[in-house]
Structure 1
């Protein structure tokens, strides 16, 4: 089956800066695919290369089997939703949504009908006569989505579109975006630096670092089986145990990833039962509602973070603990980088 988007050894240089460095990636049709990474990692430049706003310095890009190097954005079967929405303030919502069809020469009645259908898709029926300034942030985000979808793209590109929303609305829109993608069945490529967004919405995630892809996999794979220290540190919060500490606790002498929620805290008088364990002292406590994050330090000076259920009771700084975990919770990483 032809991939929706294929990047083959793609690089993009800005002077001496390699924003994207020899990236190869296959994105299947119909997937919700996330490009995840910190600022400056290359994810947004990669999206812009797919959109046509940038051209590769080298390498090859295909969209549904068609070569797109040198093809302008308006001739690609993609549309982009930007973080700032880029709505025209002097136009009504309906006119904003229909703008792309007007540029293509679609008649007034046809584009008005298509705009209303697109607004219905994003639960904004009846809002066509309003101005963007009369809408909430979440509603403006939906208008931007409708404007992109009205052109019936084969691939929808989303450049951190939830970044301007507050937490509650952002979580709501994550659910709505995922539901919309499932109902439409088209390929969504979503750029974000927010690990929670990527893990909750995407079918697959490509993690970027220094212009390269560090790992590609399902959300579960990149979280539970990070291939490098960077992925372990960036996706969620992980303890990266060096080989000497891993060996001292009974594990292999390799770099190990251990998630904080996998660690069980034993207090004074409790004895570890045949699992990996180490003694530690609490150095800081952070209450997070259902969980309490404990920063601890072993006698060798290693920092280990623990996510303990808040129902486990109160802790205090300086308290001595035994940290225990199941060997199956460890993940041996392929590399240190």
Structure 2
């Protein structure tokens, strides 16, 4: 093991369940201290990869290393990782302090020491005054923070988070996103975060791996994943981009390849398109008000519908059936692989 070893390394890793290849040849390095997200739809392989790191599953093929140490045959309790689950998995008969200290108790840490360490972990998540309460007396966000403290008290080198915000309402989810990222920066611990929520992955991560059908289809910083998708699947899944077929892209003056065109790159034109822009006449099929923005769905031909995101002040009064002209800079077309 060397100090330069990745926190987690996958080499040609596969996991089969009968004929199903849940993970299919994954190669991946996660850097020490990185907030790394695995993003994808249900059944894409991301949670199975997390379970492989934790030791809850074993690879059918390939190798996994944690800080340079091969994980084959190493049981979950002996790995330098801890997992935070979506359902919190708190013991209802124990108070918060004993829930957090449970892992230390299993390791044989004396009561006074484990309670002191548990209080310190609760302080990290701003629940140091809640130690005597039972989980049922806490809000959903507080229970999530207790689960986080229980994982952190064991001082893992890698913290695995399996859709930990999925059970929270929107406001709590957004608050926890901020808290999780701030905590990760403070601790410097490697976080591996599994989610199907694109907003979570983009807002918190240093890098994101997008999964589909057991494979990683793209990995990189959030800006690259969003602005420079590699394939139409990534473009559609991350941010719901418009995918312009190669023939239409070329006819508009763009590359002869399928292209991603983000909804916010489109504008409504009142006159000729500026130099370097393309224009398309269309008819509104749907119009939605989202507070700070408006979203339109515009049919530009029999087969093509374009999503348009506008500031709320624009497009007021437009309704389904209205004729519009869309415009966008040709530089907004991002050529992708044809798959």
Asked if these proteins are the same fold (TM beyond 0.5), I'd say: yes
Structure 2 counterparts to residues 51-66 of structure 1, below 5 A: 51-66=54-69
**Residues 262-318 of structure 1 deviation map (CA, whole Å, 9 limit, x = unaligned):** 001114xx2212211111111111111111111111135311111111201321211
In 1, Cα distance between equivalents of 2:207 and 2:264: 23
In 1, Cα distance between equivalents of 2:103 and 2:13: 29
Q: Is 1:118 equivalent to 2:108 in the alignment?
A: no
- TM-score w.r.t. length of structure 2: 0.97
Match of 1:284 among 269, 286, 302: 286
Q: Which moved more, 1:285-294 or 1:38-47?
A: 285-294
Counterpart for residue 198 of structure 2: 195
Q: Which secondary structure state, in structure 1, belongs to the residue aligned with residue 235 of structure 2?
A: helix
In 2, Cα distance between equivalents of 1:255 and 1:323: 19
In 2, Cα distance between equivalents of 1:308 and 1:110: 56
In 2, Cα distance between equivalents of 1:238 and 1:147: 39
In 2, Cα distance between equivalents of 1:172 and 1:204: 21
User: Do the aligned residues in 1 keep the contact of 2:298 with 2:306 (CA within 8 Å)?
Assistant: yes
In 1, Cα distance between equivalents of 2:298 and 2:213: 30
Counterpart for residue 5 of structure 1: 8
Counterpart for residue 103 of structure 2: 100
Counterpart for residue 271 of structure 1: 272
Q: Which secondary structure state, in structure 2, belongs to the residue aligned with residue 172 of structure 1?
A: helix
Root-mean-square deviation (CA, aligned residues, Å) is 0.8
- Structure 1 residue 166: deviation in Å? 0.4
User: Do the aligned residues in 1 keep the contact of 2:257 with 2:338 (CA within 8 Å)?
Assistant: no
Q: Which moved more, 1:289-298 or 1:193-202?
A: 289-298
Q: Which secondary structure state, in structure 1, belongs to the residue aligned with residue 313 of structure 2?
A: helix
**Residues 135-183 of structure 1 deviation map (CA, whole Å, 9 limit, x = unaligned):** 0000000000000000000000000000000000000000000000000
Unaligned runs of 5+ in 1: none
Counterpart for residue 324 of structure 1: 327
**Count of aligned pairs between the two proteins:** 334
Counterpart for residue 44 of structure 2: 41
Q: Which secondary structure state, in structure 1, belongs to the residue aligned with residue 26 of structure 2?
A: strand
In 2, Cα distance between equivalents of 1:152 and 1:109: 18
Q: Which secondary structure state, in structure 2, belongs to the residue aligned with residue 124 of structure 1?
A: coil
Match of 2:81 among 78, 93, 97: 78
- Structure 1 residue 104: deviation in Å? 0.3
Structure 2 counterparts to residues 101-250 of structure 1, below 5 A: 101-250=104-253
Counterpart for residue 294 of structure 1: 296
Q: Which secondary structure state, in structure 2, belongs to the residue aligned with residue 311 of structure 1?
A: coil
Moved over 3 A (4+): none
Counterpart for residue 262 of structure 2: 259
Q: Which secondary structure state, in structure 2, belongs to the residue aligned with residue 191 of structure 1?
A: strand
In 2, Cα distance between equivalents of 1:197 and 1:145: 17
User: Do the aligned residues in 1 keep the contact of 2:43 with 2:213 (CA within 8 Å)?
Assistant: yes
Q: Which secondary structure state, in structure 2, belongs to the residue aligned with residue 94 of structure 1?
A: helix
Q: Which secondary structure state, in structure 2, belongs to the residue aligned with residue 2 of structure 1?
A: coil
- TM-score w.r.t. length of structure 1: 0.98
